[in-house]
Chain A
Amino acid sequence: MIKINVDMTKCQHYGMCVFEAPDVFKLNADDKLEYTATADDSERGNVEAAIDVCPMQAIFIVD
């Protein structure tokens, strides 16, 4: 398992992470980011891609 943390003081809900790891990140009905705090190891590549495209660099994998 990997642990995911998003710094919600930085996040501006641009949603670019949603394209990279749709099973981990989504925008809710109010267009606010929601994410799962843990994910299967197989998601690591997708979450790293989400980290890379985050305009606010607000996403972290907690190893």
Chain B
Amino acid sequence: MSKPVVIVGASMGGLRAAEALRRFGYTGAITAIGDETWAPYNRPPLSKEVLAGETVSHETVAFPQRPATADVGWVLGHSVVSADLANNTVTIDDGEVFEYSHLIIATGLRPKKQVYPNNIHAGRHIIRTLDDAMGLRSALQPGKKVVVLGAGFIGCETAATARKLGCDVTVVAPGTVPMLRPLGEELASELQRRNEAQGVKFLMKRTVKDLVGEAHITAVALDDGTELECDVFIEAIGSHPNTEWLEGNDIDIVDGLLCDSTLRARKGTGDIWPNVWGVGDVVRFPNPLYDDVERRVEHWNIPSECAKYVGNAIATGDISATFRPVPSFWSDQFDVHILAYGLLTIADSNKLVEGSIDGDCVFEYYREGQLVGAAGIGLRSVVMGYRKIFEG
């Protein structure tokens, strides 16, 4: 019997890869290994509507399982501890070894955490997994003092949700404006204003230098010498790619798994591993739509786009087209719904092209005069039009 395709990572990227393998005609065995005990579920609602609900449950976020992937062998609740790419094997935490014909690496990210002098844990939260969200939801009771460290999208969304739940919420971040990268000064400042109008406080150009409390956090100590009362401390300061299990192989995992534009892992020599593929936000890949710089892209559509490409490549052997996805993201904060297409993070300028900043609006983003992205509040048809432009 031929060896299975082994997918490491059983979240959206792993599920979509299994589905794509079947859709493009692969009929052999598929094994998907994931360290969470939950079947694949959708993460974005964990900082938004699911966190805002009465209870957080797997049912509300589980992806539907399709008949085509009913025979996938799910190995859940086990992490892969090592890989031997030269011998086509991976080993899980209980010592079991899995041989593969193709390996799909979809291990994603984990949130960064600070290490403080008073490094207490009670009252401290991150948000990535369903279990994280369940723990955080029970802590977000009305009147609780919540401090969110980090003013990116996840930080701001979580802050908005906590505020909606009746908490007293302060966002602390070292930058000048929340969500500055990727939105740019003008749109980001407007979002800060709208969040402040809903009662979220922002302490920008500040950071947390220590935690205060004995058994449980009671306050955070800021870098200006002041203390901020705190019952619930949420760290939303970015993520690490989960690649440690790949150490010892001839690959580049300096910042995520380096892949070429066919999503196959690169060797140090520049050659590729012909049967080792990357899927999702763990991957650093070049995107010929923009340039040859390899980047990790932490947007929700990237795992699915990667999975479609890899599933087709393995099932049909067709790698004639390079992988060139149009990144997209959305964000919900109170009644503000942002939608963006393109690679806004590489832009050096932007301008308002439609609507007005205090209402619905669309911004275009440029790098050296070239249009690279668009983002809008409302005005969906206008924003959607850019996707077609970027797809070329």
Give me the interface of A with B, judged by CB distance under 8 Å: 10, 12-16, 18-19, 27, 31, 45, 48, 51-53, 55-57, 60
A12-B332, A27-B380 are contacts. A19–B64 as well, Cβ < 8 Å?
no
User: Once bound together, how far apart are the Cα atoms of A51 and B64, in whole Å?
Assistant: 9
Contact in complex: A48, B66 (CB < 8 Å): yes
Give me the interface of B with A, judged by CB distance under 8 Å: 16, 19, 23, 42, 44-45, 49, 61, 63-64, 66, 300-301, 304, 328, 330, 332, 337, 339, 378-381, 384, 387
A10-B49, A15-B384 are contacts. A53–B301 as well, Cβ < 8 Å?
yes
Complex partner residue of B380 from A13, A19, A51, A57, CB under 8 angstroms: A13
A14-B330, A31-B378 are contacts. A55–B304 as well, Cβ < 8 Å?
no
Q: What residues of chain B lie closer than 8 Å to A52, measured between beta carbons?
A: 16, 19, 304
A51-B64, A53-B301, A55-B330 are contacts. A15–B380 as well, Cβ < 8 Å?
yes
Enumerate the 5 nearest inter-chain pairs by beta-carbon distance, A residue then B residue, closest first. Answer: A31-B380, A15-B380, A55-B330, A15-B384, A12-B337
Shortest C-beta distance, B144 to chain A (Å), equals 27
User: Once bound together, how far apart are the Cα atoms of A18 and B63, in whole Å?
Assistant: 20
Q: What residues of chain A lie closer than 8 Å to B387, measured between beta carbons?
A: 19
Contacts A/B (CB < 8 Å), 16 sampled: A10-B49, A12-B330, A14-B330, A15-B339, A19-B387, A31-B378, A45-B23, A48-B66, A52-B19, A53-B301, A53-B304, A55-B330, A56-B45, A56-B49, A57-B45, A57-B61
Q: What residues of chain B lie closer than 8 Å to A19, measured between beta carbons?
A: 384, 387
Q: What residues of chain A lie closer than 8 Å to B63, measured between beta carbons?
A: 57
Shortest C-beta distance, B369 to chain A (Å), equals 28
Shortest C-beta distance, A15 to chain B (Å), equals 5
User: Once bound together, how far apart are the Cα atoms of A12 and B300, in whole Å?
Assistant: 16
Contact in complex: B16, A15 (CB < 8 Å): no
Contact in complex: A15, B381 (CB < 8 Å): yes
A10-B49, A31-B379 are contacts. A55–B44 as well, Cβ < 8 Å?
yes
A31-B379, A48-B66, A52-B16 are contacts. A14–B339 as well, Cβ < 8 Å?
yes
User: Once bound together, how far apart are the Cα atoms of A45 and B380, in whole Å?
Assistant: 24
List 10 additional A-B contacts (Cβ < 8 Å) besides A13-B337, A27-B384, A31-B380: A10-B49, A12-B330, A14-B339, A15-B339, A15-B380, A16-B328, A31-B381, A52-B16, A52-B19, A55-B300
Contact in complex: A27, B381 (CB < 8 Å): yes
Contact in complex: B42, A57 (CB < 8 Å): yes
Shortest C-beta distance, B130 to chain A (Å), equals 14
Q: What residues of chain A lie closer than 8 Å to B379, measured between beta carbons?
A: 31
Q: What residues of chain B lie closer than 8 Å to A15, measured between beta carbons?
A: 339, 380-381, 384
Shortest C-beta distance, A34 to chain B (Å), equals 13
User: Once bound together, how far apart are the Cα atoms of A27 and B378, in whole Å?
Assistant: 12
Residue of A nearest to B62 (CB): A57
Shortest C-beta distance, A57 to chain B (Å), equals 5
User: Once bound together, how far apart are the Cα atoms of A31 and B339, in whole Å?
Assistant: 13
Most buried by A among B300, B384, B387: B384
User: Once bound together, how far apart are the Cα atoms of A56 and B339, in whole Å?
Assistant: 13
Shortest C-beta distance, A4 to chain B (Å), equals 13
Residue of A nearest to B329 (CB): A55
Q: What residues of chain B lie closer than 8 Å to A31, measured between beta carbons?
A: 378-381
Residue of B nearest to A57 (CB): B42
Shortest C-beta distance, A18 to chain B (Å), equals 7
Q: What residues of chain A lie closer than 8 Å to B384, measured between beta carbons?
A: 15, 18-19, 27
Most buried by B among A16, A27, A52, A57: A52
Residue of B nearest to A60 (CB): B64
Q: What residues of chain B lie closer than 8 Å to A45, measured between beta carbons?
A: 23
Shortest C-beta distance, A58 to chain B (Å), equals 10
Q: What residues of chain B lie closer than 8 Å to A18, measured between beta carbons?
A: 384
User: Once bound together, how far apart are the Cα atoms of A4 and B332, in whole Å?
Assistant: 25
User: Once bound together, how far apart are the Cα atoms of A48 and B87, in whole Å?
Assistant: 37
Shortest C-beta distance, B65 to chain A (Å), equals 12
User: Once bound together, how far apart are the Cα atoms of A5 and B337, in whole Å?
Assistant: 22
User: Once bound together, how far apart are the Cα atoms of A19 and B387, in whole Å?
Assistant: 9
Q: What residues of chain B lie closer than 8 Å to A27, measured between beta carbons?
A: 380-381, 384
